[in-house]
Amino acid sequence: VYIAYHKPVGITCTTERKVKGNIIDAIKFPQRIFPIGRLDKPSEGLILLTSDGDIVNKILRAENAHDKVYRVNVDKPISPRFISRMAKGVPILNTVTKPCQVKAVGQRSFEIVLTQGLNRQIRRMCEYLGYEVTRLVRKRIMHINLKGLSAGQWRHLTEQELSELNAAVAGSSKVAPE
């Protein structure tokens, strides 16, 4: 089973049923599935869920460099300097984020393409630069996007998406390099 889900704000990406507002209860899928990665509770957007344990780490491992696209709104106008600093990498969580693509799409909004998935990465990067995220939406994971899904809706991946996904992770390792 491979599902694309438009996670609304307020849903927690956990399979622990005792957690109120967990993603499993939200989707109500009859089979055992689990999320590939996470999106924090105040964020919304695309998350993939599956019953295929092997594919999870292949997609998640940062060195496999599978891109994720986010649309981010912040609390004040963004400057070219902000965009440049976000793109070059920002010190958070005892490391510096990998360089990434960032482009302004509005006075207080930007798109960012990440291959890394550090905990609350975009929020922490913005915070470091003096900005607060007011809305964060993951629009795409690799070639799979939110098209046609409203918040709270899910769909099965298409045959084409699935074959592209399998091709994309074919060379990916599910374990860290030694």
Handedness of CA 26, 31, 32, 34 (dihedral sign): negative
Phi/psi for 63 (5° steps) reads: -70, -10
- Helix (H) / strand (E) containing 138: strand 133-141
Out of 40, 52, 54, 67, pick the active-site residue: 40
Q: State how far the Cα of 50 lies from the Cα of 147, in Å rounded to an integer.
A: 19
Query: CB–CB of 136/44 below 8 Å?
Result: yes
Q: State how far the Cα of 98 lies from the Cα of 178, in Å rounded to an integer.
A: 20
Query: CB–CB of 64/168 below 8 Å?
Result: no
Is 52 catalytic? The answer is no
Catalytic residues: 40
